[in-house]
């Protein structure tokens, strides 16, 4: 049995610990208001936050983070389960070329699509390669029920369960609890107090079986002894920026490791997530730890950076399923399980006709950077195309699953890779406020439907837009 693990954290240290153990987690940031969560829990108990132990606090926050992501996961799952309409699958590579001349013209069109005047400020990274232009090809299609997931992501058949883990760490020194210092001044004073002393690091873990709702919560504990540090050493350490956003103002695996003389207890907990404890929790929910192993070499390592820069970023948060595929069409495409995105439409309240769609202005560093398309990305292991599209569109564009109805899909099947466009309408009485959630977009906005062809469109979107527009109009008339 394969089990997908969702980590409710953007902590690089937690990701690294899991990855080194063979588990590449799906990253869903919880965005929990931690002080508010602690205040609410303290009010329920009739005590102040200061009266709560470090163990209680990390348990509360780990649970809050895990459940925040769980609720988000359920929204995506419910929206995907309630999808209606048809899945149309196109097979462009199966089409017979009309003639060698037509094929040559199509190739020339593809290679020059980004070089004409209308595309002059669009970048083209040879390594990432633009999508092939199939505008001159009559693509054969087949129609399936939208829930026929066999045509979306075959890996979902191998992944029977989803686990969500939330973590939080806190350092206890001389009876006082320390979280993240956030500022250099606070970090300096805290580290000065820690110099030459021993404190305790608590890390709370909350693991949820997403499909059953069963939950396990546990806390790891370790004593950490610090070397005597001079003011100059403390100041230099603070200037690295490393201690500002970590619990207790130190790290074991970074610059701070040189100032830690001893650890008694669980060393993984000091890194932010305890592997032995997590393994026990996984077993408590009825799974085997090796079920989570999904490690494989990820290609195209890249770090997120300024989306308006033409330089390819140096670091990225990799998800299971991320990586380049050498496609049967002769180009490189992103996503071991394929990719998917949401084409979200807004309708006139009176006539029901489509008036606007959400469009993404792609970061310059991306493939065909500077063009416009729809928010989306690689499908993760264990996801259907609809689930992947909904997750990606929320992470990139704030398209909230509870505010939309999925009404159809189109899958362009290249054999060993495919892209699924999920058609959705804003629910009556609901409002989606799209915005760029990360640096993969320069801009995301509602665009009048008649203005879409005026944009510098991604090659595939430019090719498919006439049929997409016609299908949106048809779907709107049927509803």
Catalytic residues: 168
| Under 8 Å between Cβ of 377 and 385 | no
Biggest distance spanned by C-alpha atoms of the chain: 80
Q: Which DSSP category does 130 fall into?
A: P
| Residue 87 CB coordination number (10 Å) | 23
Phi then psi for 431, rounded to 5 degrees?
A: -140, 125
DSSP strand E in 415-455: where? 418-426, 441-448
Residues 6+ apart with CB under 8 A from 313: 302, 303, 304, 305, 365, 439
267: enclosing H helix or E strand: helix 267-271
Helix, strand and coil in the chain, % to nearest 5: 35, 25, 40
Contact between 249 and 181 under an 8 Å Cβ cutoff? The reply is: yes
| Residue 476 tokens, joined | 């709107």
d(CA 29, CA 9): 5
The Cα–Cα gap between 112 and 308 comes to: 23
Q: What is the DSSP string of 320-377?
A: TT-SEEE-TTSSEEE-BTBEEEEEEEEE-TTT--EEEEEEEEE-TTSTTTT-EE-SEE
The dihedral formed by the CA atoms of 359, 363, 367 and 373, expressed in degrees to the nearest 10: 0
The burial class, CB within 10 Å (0-12 / 13-18 / 19+), for 48 is exposed
């Amino acid at each position: 049995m394969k089990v997908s693990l969702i980590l409710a954290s953007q902590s690089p240290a937690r990701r690294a610990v899991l990855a080194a153990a063979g588990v590449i987690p799906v990253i869903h940031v919880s965005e929990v208001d931690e002080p508010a969560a602690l205040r609410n829990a303290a009010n329920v108990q009739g005590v102040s936050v200061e009266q709560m132990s470090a163990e209680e606090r990390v348990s509360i926050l780990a649970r809050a983070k895990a459940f925040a992501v769980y609720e988000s996961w359920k929204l995506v799952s419910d929206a995907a389960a309630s999808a209606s309409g048809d899945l149309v699958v196109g097979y462009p590579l199966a089409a017979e070329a009309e003639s060698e001349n037509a094929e040559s013209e199509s190739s020339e069109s593809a290679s020059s699509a980004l070089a004409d005047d209308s595309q002059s400020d669009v970048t083209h990274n040879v390594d990432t390669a633009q999508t092939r232009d199939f505008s001159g090809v009559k693509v054969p299609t087949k129609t399936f029920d939208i829930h026929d997931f066999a045509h979306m992501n075959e890996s979902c058949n191998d992944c029977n369960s989803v686990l969500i883990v939330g973590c939080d760490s806190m350092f206890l020194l001389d009876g006082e609890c320390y979280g993240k210092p956030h500022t250099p001044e606070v970090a300096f004073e805290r580290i000065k107090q820690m110099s030459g002393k021993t404190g305790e690091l608590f890390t709370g873990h909350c693991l949820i079986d997403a499909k059953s709702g069963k939950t396990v919560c546990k806390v790891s504990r370790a004593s950490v002894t610090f070397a005597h540090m001079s003011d100059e050493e403390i100041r230099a350490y603070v200037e690295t920026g490393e201690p500002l956003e970590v619990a207790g103002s130190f790290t074991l695996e970074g610059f701070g490791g040189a100032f830690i003389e001893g650890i008694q207890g669980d060393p993984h907990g000091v890194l932010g997530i305890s592997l032995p404890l997590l393994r026990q929790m996984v077993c408590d929910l009825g799974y085997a730890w090796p079920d989570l192993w999904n490690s494989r070499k990820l290609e195209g390592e890249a770090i997120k950076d300024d989306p308006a820069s033409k330089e390819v970023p140096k670091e990225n948060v990799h998800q299971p399923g991320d990586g380049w595929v050498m496609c049967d069409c002769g180009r490189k495409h992103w996503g071991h399980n394929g990719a998917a995105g949401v084409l979200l439409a807004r309708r006139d309240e009176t006539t029901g006709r489509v008036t606007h769609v959400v469009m993404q202005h792609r970061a310059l560093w991306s493939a065909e950077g500077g063009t416009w398309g729809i928010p989306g990305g690689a499908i993760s292991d264990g996801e259907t195309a609809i689930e992947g599209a909904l997750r990606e569109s929320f992470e990139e564009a704030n398209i909230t699953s509870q505010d939309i109805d999925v009404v159809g899909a189109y899958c362009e099947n290249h054999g060993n890779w495919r892209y699924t466009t999920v058609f959705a309408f804003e629910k009556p009485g609901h409002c989606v406020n799209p915005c760029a959630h990360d640096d993969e977009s320069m801009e995301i906005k509602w665009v009048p439907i008649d203005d879409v062809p005026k944009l510098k469109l991604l090659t595939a979107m430019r090719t498919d837009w006439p049929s997409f527009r016609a299908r949106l109009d048809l779907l709107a008339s049927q509803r």
